[in-house]
A and B are shown apart, each in its own frame.
Chain A
Amino acid sequence: MMISKTSSLAIGWSQLSHGRTRMLVAISGVSIIVAMILTVLSLKDAVIDSTLQVPRSLKGDVIVLSARTQTILRPAPFPRRFLDRLHGLNGVGEVSSVAIENARWINPDTRQEHPIRVFGLDLEFDVISLPGIDPNEPKLKMKDTIIFDASSRPKFGDVAKHFEREHHFATEVNGRRVEVCGLTHAGVSIASDGNLFTTHANFQRLFPNLGGLKSHIGIVKLTDSSHEQEVANQIREMLGTEARVLTRTEMLEAEKSFMKINDPVDDIMGMIAGVAFFVGMIIVYQILYTDVVNHLPQFATLKAIGFHGTFLLGIIISEGIILSLIGFWPGLLIAHGLAYLSEQATLLPVEITISNMLGVLIAAIFMCVTAASIAVRKITQVEPASVF
């Protein structure tokens, strides 16, 4: 067996650590790039996650939508009789519906009008799992009461702060005086800057001109949720082409892919991460290339003596790997700091997930190794005869 006495890794390390300043510069470069990519990816996840918060909170096993509905965040209405017919089906338990419309909310501080999304819920059934809705159910049953989404954008006024202090907040929605009776956290999306939740009855009071209550999202609970696919098929058959019937899992997947296609945030963030990756590669390349060029006569000598090009490549590649492995950790630390800051600034839950961490670590290694392999081409080109 061949045992290497001086591995490329050890030599690579010696070469790197010999120029301490240069190594520190390279490591900081990698760290900053790692931090940037990690933060951007986490922010992207946070934005998508926040958009999916409402769909995820729906409690049904099967979701019925209008065939025209592309995303639950912007649902088209369908007649309520669709849902009434479902009661006869085997395996179908509770059936209820959510109505969604945009209303005009007046910020009492500025007297300015802003469109806000109103969810009409049938509170007879347990349809949505958001904090603050169940405990406030009795109050919500009173006339003209609503629950306000505290994650709404600030333009709606200091509702949450005000309500927490005085346990009271009133304003006008669609020209009707309403009373906030509780707060929840649902999250904003491309479809809405703010959300209100109320009962069907109050919903009809806010929208008197719609000609009766329409359904936007049908929520079907099954008696035995293990057969959701079969029941979903039956419902699909019964309702025909006018309805879109999805299991809960299918609905969440559909929402996610809709977001990916239609929300520019995914592309923009992806592009920023891509640019950062590229910049990182250039930084590492520059540093390793300088290193290679400065040692060209020595490398040529080693080649003339009988060292294989691959051994020398190994040295530079090792340097790349070392840089990425060391640079990753400060980068992770910085990313945690940035995640905390952006959480404060955007109110989005920015979390650095293990899978993002691993992904970025692999990307960092790939980045440095690619940079090293480009930098090393100079060595393969060097003519060993030139040292004589």
Chain B
Amino acid sequence: MLDPVVNVASLNFSFGTSDLQKQILFDINLTIYPGEIVILEGPSGSGKTTLLTLLSGLRSFHEGSIKLFGTEICGASQQMLVHLRRQVGYIFQHHNLLDFLSARRNVELMFELHPRVDSEQARQRTKEILSAVGLANHLDSFPHQLSGGQRQRVAIARALVTKPNLILADEPTAALDKVTGRQVVELLQGIARSHAIPILMVTHDSRILDIADRIVRIEDGRLIKTTLEMA
């Protein structure tokens, strides 16, 4: 068996301190293997997003363990966290593209984090990935010239262009209509499959659950059900 990309074990997490402490996550155990598409679903306030920020090393925790690409992030240095984060592709609910940069430059910007890729290669890969998400004709369009679905596709291209080892997607369809949301997710699925990039997608959009290999449900901070659909 391949080494897991993500390995969460006995994770507890609380906001606040002492009297005002509120526990958000209880005894979370979750493992994701290379190539898997895992959907984390659950009602709002259940702790999905908190789990994502913990996986990204953006919050510190004290109980339990999270290993990203085999490295423990509990207590890891800021430098190490940034290093790990750069191997992850992020897709957010809002695309948050820089409105003053074209689609091409928004995507190309990611290579700032990967200085070993030379600029010719960066340009080439940017063009390829934008074509792959169907935006070959919109390379030089600015975000305000694109539709919501197109912008989210630029955001997907941005997350994928540096060939990450994991994709974390936080409700990528929330700002999109049903049809567009579906298209965007299928696109993501296709590219992830062809490059064998594992995806952890947080959503409460029940219409897209079928793209997952596995669905993990979270309720009141506990993982309550794991559906394994892998063939």
Seen from chain A, the residues whose Cβ lies within 8 Å of a Cβ on chain B are: 2-6, 11, 14-15, 17-19, 295, 297-298, 300-302, 304-308, 311, 384-385, 387-388
Contacts and interface: CB of A to CB of B under 8 A. Distances in A.
Contacts of A308: 82
A18 B94 CA distance: 21
B96 A3 contact: no
A385 B53 contact: yes
A6 B96 contact: no
Interface residues of B, number: 32
Interface string B33-58: 00000000000000001001100101
A9 to B, nearest CB: 13
Given A4-B115, A306-B85, A387 B96 contact: yes
B92 interface: yes
B98 A6 contact: no
Nearest to A383: B58
B147 to A, nearest CB: 19
Interface of A is mostly: helix
A305 B84 CA distance: 10
Given A14-B101, A304-B56, A308-B82, A387 B92 contact: yes
B163 interface: no
B101 A301 contact: no
A304 B58 contact: yes
A6 B52 contact: no
Nearest to B159: A305
Given A301-B96, A384-B58, A3 B118 contact: yes
A14 B58 contact: no
A385 B117 CA distance: 28
Contacts of A14: 100-101, 105
B22 interface: no
A385 B59 contact: yes
A273 to B, nearest CB: 34
B162 to A, nearest CB: 10
Interface stretch (B68-76, B106-114, B184-192): B106-114
B13 interface: no
A302 to B, nearest CB: 8
B170 to A, nearest CB: 5
Nearest to B111: A5
B122 interface: yes
B158 to A, nearest CB: 8
Task: Choose among A5, A304, A308, A384 the residue with the greatest number of B CB atoms under 10 Å from its CB.
Answer: A5
A289 to B, nearest CB: 16
B99 interface: yes
B119 interface: yes
Contacts of B53: 385, 388
B139 interface: no
Contact of A305 (B59, B100, B110): B110
A304 B105 contact: no
Given A11-B101, A388-B92, A6 B108 contact: yes
Task: Choose among B53, B86, B97 the residue with the greatest number of A CB atoms under 10 Å from its CB.
Answer: B53
A306 B82 contact: yes
A5 B107 CA distance: 12
10 contacts: A5-B119, A11-B98, A14-B105, A18-B100, A297-B96, A298-B99, A301-B90, A302-B98, A306-B86, A308-B82
B10 to A, nearest CB: 22
Interface in B193-210: none
A297 B115 CA distance: 25
Nearest to A12: B100
Given A2-B115, A3-B118, A388-B170, A305 B90 contact: yes
Given A14-B105, A385-B53, A298 B115 contact: no
Given A301-B96, A302-B98, 18 more contacts: A2-B115, A5-B111, A6-B111, A14-B100, A15-B100, A297-B96, A298-B96, A298-B97, A298-B98, A298-B99, A302-B109, A304-B58, A304-B90, A305-B86, A305-B110, A306-B82, A306-B86, A388-B53
A387 B56 CA distance: 12
B112 A388 contact: no
Nearest to A296: B96
